[in-house]
């Protein structure tokens, strides 16, 4: 059996959904003018920018949302399955800062940092997808969103979790993806990216978020709702109250999205957190935050929808025992909850900072969690009798053929980041040192995936033209490698 | 028994009890206690105690919000009495607050505004999604001492720089101190964009605002 974590029973989920449906009708949901006609035409009342969505309408649209879909890699191969209890991880996204590899102090992230992170994540099988992990401070802010996507597409072949910074720039990101794919139709058939779209708590689909929902649906590119109730501040203080708000935000978002394009792929996702009543911070490493993550996803799974959440992040400002305790705990809980995409690895300091060293440490926690959800399975007819028949009371199990045949299935072997006393495992006495060595090893092994030269050239032409308009000089993070493809 | 009354006033603020605070303020007026005395020796020490206990992790944000509400209830009684006497409470400073352009998050800003008001600042909250020019216009209109700019998102944090630029363009920068805050904001960022200060939380924002007022007074006192 596969081990599973559940925090809600079906009766409570029904109550949560019942209240969520009530909330989207009354008090309703704030929406942007862009979606008012769409909602009115479907039977919702919209007054003063607030949509009152009847339960019947919302349920009809929920029934249209697909229960599963795939993200594809650079070669058009299905690589990430959103649906069921499949669990995938990707690095956290949109950080402004990075822990400098040398000093381990936070500093603004640059394009070169994002490239390093992408290359390391590319080498780690624990990450099924990449993310547009950092905002590059050496790139003009107005092109920051599509440029970081360009860097990920350029240096990786994995699917990407991304997002636009404005209503209009979404179209630039979609154009870039279409160029990489070969066509708009190709992008719709085999999307490589999923876009995070964030409602503003409580119950507000802003101009930017409303546009993104509708435009993604019409482009046929998957949208991932990232609902962020902060329990006690922008949402009810009880965990279950915040789960209700999360459900109401997701349901209203899916309603708008499915009205724009029935059957378009969408994810029941989020980044909920508690609001620390002493500091006003939103601790991602708090156990209650993890409980919210699990419970919110559980409601989505109950509806049969693909799920996402934000876990594997710690709150301390450096890589230390606190950060890794928090990250490790939530990694295990997220995996046990069967959440389809779990974002957040590599992040610390309340999601304000990324660390490539932490990313490789988190990869070890993820590998352990992946082993955990494989569970304990009988591997032969006899569980132990046959082994004892051979080993007897001398207990020499090490010599048995069965041992040699099965130990690789039974045991996960961590990298040298985890100190198990292996003599050849680097000289660094502490985990940050070992992580740093591992990063260098992975970077040394990394090779940029090849792609069709004409598409790469089209991406470069696009980047140079768009970047030039924003005053970008050269193509940071690409220029050194681009010449080889020309 | 003013001492006992002052103690009760202080306690009503610590307890976050607006009805009690209001009753005590009314009783003080009826008994002829000077309104300014009631404020300075009764209610304000309550807010100071709250700030101290919050700093020590003994009080929590909902408690502090309730204390600010109690302070407001007392002032609603005492402010009109001060006006009748032709005086007013010494004002700590004028602050224009807002969340930066493109950002509609305001929980942090509301906390800061509530605490600044409770600590004697006159606060004008411009709300959310506020462009730099609007900050500058309001700062000029109110002759503001401080402009406070909040941002929750890494993407909108950059617009804090635009507020400073708008103040420079309006010729107000030398008269107005700028403080910035919000989840992604750091001290380094504040320095980079030329802000006068950064506060990591609402209570620090109060301390920072006081400090900025002192710095402002010093710069005014210094010969040009």
Boundary-marking domain end, from B26, B59, B84: B84
ipTM exceeds 0.85, yes or no: no
Same domain, yes or no, for B196 and B101?
yes
Contact B183 A232 (CB under 8 A): no
Estimate the share of chain A in helix, then strand, then coil, as percent rounded to the nearest 5: 45, 15, 40
Residues A63-83 as b/e (b if ≥16 CB within 10 A, e otherwise) read ebbbeebbbbbbeeeebbebb
Contact B57 A278 (CB under 8 A): yes
Same domain, yes or no, for B133 and B211?
yes
Are the CB atoms for A87 and A335 separated by under 8 Å? yes
Q: Does any CB of chain B come closer than 8 Å to the CB of residue A51?
A: no
pLDDT band for position A484 (cuts 50, 70, 90): very low
Are the CB atoms for A478 and A150 separated by under 8 Å? yes
Q: Does any CB of chain A come closer than 8 Å to the CB of residue B60?
A: yes
Rounded Cα distance, A212 and A197, in Å: 7
Rounded Cα distance, A71 and A468, in Å: 31
Same domain, yes or no, for B101 and B57?
no
Helix (H) or strand (E) holding A456: helix A453-469
Beta bridge partners of B60: none
Tell me the domains of chain A and their CATH numbers.
63-374 (3.20.20.480), 385-445 (no CATH), 456-485 (no CATH)
Q: Least CA distance to B185: which residue of chain A?
A: A352
Which residues in chain B are closer than 8 Å to A313, comparing Cβ atoms?
none
Tell me the nearest-neighbour CA distance from B60 into chain A, angstroms. Answer: 5
Same domain, yes or no, for B115 and B215?
yes
pLDDT band for position A486 (cuts 50, 70, 90): very low
Same domain, yes or no, for B68 and B24?
yes
Q: For residue B151, what is the domain's CATH number?
A: 3.40.50.280
Same domain, yes or no, for B208 and B101?
yes
Same domain, yes or no, for B108 and B211?
yes
Rounded Cα distance, B106 and A280, in Å: 12
Q: pTM, whole model, 2 decimals?
A: 0.91
Rounded Cα distance, A264 and A218, in Å: 8
Closest Cβ opposite residue A280 in set B111, B154, B188: B111
Same domain, yes or no, for B121 and B71?
no
Q: Does any CB of chain B come closer than 8 Å to the CB of residue A439?
A: no
**Which residue, A4, A191, A150, A17, is CA-closest to A84?**
A4
Residue A463 phi/psi, 5-degree rounding, is -65, -40
Same domain, yes or no, for B99 and B171?
yes
What tens digit of pLDDT does each residue of A293-312 get? Answer: 999 999 999 999 999 999 99
Rounded Cα distance, A169 and A469, in Å: 14
Contact B186 A106 (CB under 8 A): yes
pLDDT tens-place values along chain B, 224 residues long: 568 999 999 999 999 999 999 999 999 999 999 999 999 999 999 998 998 888 888 899 899 889 999 999 999 999 999 999 998 888 899 999 999 988 777 788 888 998 898 888 999 999 988 999 999 999 999 999 999 999 987 778 889 999 999 999 999 999 999 999 987 788 888 999 999 999 988 888 999 999 999 998 887 765 54
Q: How many CB atoms lie within 10 A of CB A193?
A: 28
Boundary-marking domain end, from B59, B84, B109: B84
Q: Is the pLDDT reported for residue A193 higher than 80?
A: yes
pLDDT band for position A275 (cuts 50, 70, 90): very high
Average pLDDT over residues A196-219: 96
Upstream peptide bond of A74 is cis (omega within 30 degrees of 0): no
Which residues in chain B are closer than 8 Å to A232, comparing Cβ atoms?
62
Helices (H), A50-198: 55-64, 111-123, 144-155, 169-181, 184-189
Same domain, yes or no, for B210 and B100?
yes
Q: For residue B74, what is the domain's CATH number?
A: 1.10.1240.10
Closest Cβ opposite residue B62 in set A277, A279, A350: A277
Q: Does any CB of chain A come closer than 8 Å to the CB of residue B89?
A: no
- Tell me what pLDDT residue B224 has: 41
Split into its structural domains, chain B has a count of 2
Helix (H) or strand (E) holding A78: strand A78-82
Rounded Cα distance, A436 and A419, in Å: 14
Boundary-marking domain end, from B52, B84, B116: B84
Same domain, yes or no, for B134 and B58?
no
Beta bridge partners of B148: B97, B179
pLDDT band for position A483 (cuts 50, 70, 90): very low
Upstream peptide bond of A202 is cis (omega within 30 degrees of 0): yes
- The vertex-A183 CA angle with A179 and A184, nearest 5°, equals 105
User: What is chain B's Cα-based Rg?
Assistant: 18
Q: Does any CB of chain B come closer than 8 Å to the CB of residue A99?
A: no
Rounded Cα distance, A172 and A147, in Å: 10
Beta bridge partners of A353: A97, A348
- Tell me what pLDDT residue B36 has: 93
Which residues span the domain enclosing B196?
93-221
Contact B60 A282 (CB under 8 A): no
Contact B155 A106 (CB under 8 A): no
Same domain, yes or no, for B79 and B97?
no
Average pLDDT over residues A397-410: 94
């Amino acid at each position: 059996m596969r081990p599973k974590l559940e925090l809600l029973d079906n009766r409570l989920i029904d109550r949560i959904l019942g209240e969520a449906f009530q909330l989207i009708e009354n008090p309703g949901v704030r929406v942007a003018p862009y979606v008012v006609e769409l909602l009115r035409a479907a039977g919702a009342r919209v007054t003063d920018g607030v949509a009152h969505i009847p339960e019947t309408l919302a349920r009809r649209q929920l029934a249209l949302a697909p229960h599963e879909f795939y993200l594809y890699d650079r070669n058009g191969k299905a690589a990430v399955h959103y649906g069921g209890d499949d669990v995938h991880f990707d690095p956290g996204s949109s950080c402004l800062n990075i822990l400098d590899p040398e000093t381990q102090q936070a500093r603004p992230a640059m394009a070169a940092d994002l490239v390093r992170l992408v290359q390391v994540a590319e080498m780690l099988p624990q990450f099924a997808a990449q993310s547009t992990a950092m905002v590059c401070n050496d790139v003009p802010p107005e092109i920051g969103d599509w440029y970081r996507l360009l860097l990920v597409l350029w240096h990786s072949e994995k699917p990407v979790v991304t997002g636009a910074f404005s209503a209009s720039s979404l179209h630039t990101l979609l154009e870039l993806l279409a160029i990489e794919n070969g066509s708009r139709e190709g992008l719709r058939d085999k999307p490589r990216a999923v876009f995070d779209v964030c409602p503003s708590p409580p119950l507000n689909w802003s101009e930017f978020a409303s546009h993104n929902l509708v435009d993604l649906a019409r482009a046929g590119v998957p949208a991932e709702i990232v609902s962020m109730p902060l329990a006690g501040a922008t949402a009810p203080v009880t965990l279950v109250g915040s789960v209700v708000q999360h459900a109401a935000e997701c349901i209203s978002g899916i309603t708008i999205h499915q009205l724009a394009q029935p059957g378009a792929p969408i994810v029941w996702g989020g980044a909920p957190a508690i609001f620390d009543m002493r500091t006003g911070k939103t601790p991602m490493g708090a156990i209650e935050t993890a409980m919210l993550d699990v419970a919110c996803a559980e409601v989505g799974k109950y509806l049969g929808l693909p799920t996402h959440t934000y876990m594997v992040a710690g709150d301390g400002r450096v890589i230390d025992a606190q950060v890794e305790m928090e990250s490790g705990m939530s990694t295990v809980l997220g995996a046990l909850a069967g959440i389809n995409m779990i974002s957040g690895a590599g992040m610390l300091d309340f999601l304000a900072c990324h660390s490539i060293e932490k990313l490789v440490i988190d990869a070890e926690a993820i590998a352990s969690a992946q082993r955990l959800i494989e569970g304990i399975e009988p591997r032969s007819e006899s569980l132990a009798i046959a082994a004892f028949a051979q080993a007897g009371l001398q207990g020499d199990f090490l010599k048995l053929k069965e041992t040699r045949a099965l130990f690789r299935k039974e045991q996960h072997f961590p990298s040298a980041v985890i100190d198990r006393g292996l003599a050849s495992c680097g000289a660094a006495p502490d985990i940050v040192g070992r992580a740093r060595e591992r990063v260098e090893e992975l970077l040394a092994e990394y090779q940029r995936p090849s792609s069709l030269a004409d598409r790469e050239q089209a991406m470069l032409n696009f980047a140079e033209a768009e970047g030039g308009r924003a005053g970008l000089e050269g193509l940071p993070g690409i220029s050194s490698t681009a010449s080889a493809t020309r | 028994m003013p001492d006992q009354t002052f103690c009760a006033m202080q306690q009503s603020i610590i307890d976050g009890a607006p009805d009690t605070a209001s009753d005590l303020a009314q009783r003080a007026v009826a008994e002829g206690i000077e309104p300014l005395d009631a404020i300075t020796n009764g209610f304000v020490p309550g807010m100071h105690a709250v700030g101290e206990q919050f700093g020590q992790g003994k009080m929590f944000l909902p408690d502090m919000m309730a204390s600010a509400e109690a302070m407001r209830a007392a002032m609603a009684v005492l402010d009109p009495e001060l006006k009748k006497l032709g005086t007013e409470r010494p004002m700590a400073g004028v602050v224009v607050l807002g969340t930066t352009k493109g950002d509609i998050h305001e929980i942090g800003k509301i906390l800061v505004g509530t605490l600044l008001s409770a600590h004697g600042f006159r606060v004008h909250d411009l709300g959310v999604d506020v462009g730099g020019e609007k900050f500058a216009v309001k700062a000029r209109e109110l002759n503001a001492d401080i402009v406070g700019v909040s941002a929750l998102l890494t993407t909108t944090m950059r617009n804090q720089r635009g507020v400073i630029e708008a103040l420079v363009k309006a010729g107000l920068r030398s008269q107005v101190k700028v403080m910035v805050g919000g989840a992604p904001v750091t001290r380094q960022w504040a320095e980079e964009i030329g802000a006068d200060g950064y506060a990591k939380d609402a209570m620090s924002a109060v301390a920072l605002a006081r400090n900025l007022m002192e710095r402002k007074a010093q710069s005014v006192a210094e010969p040009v």
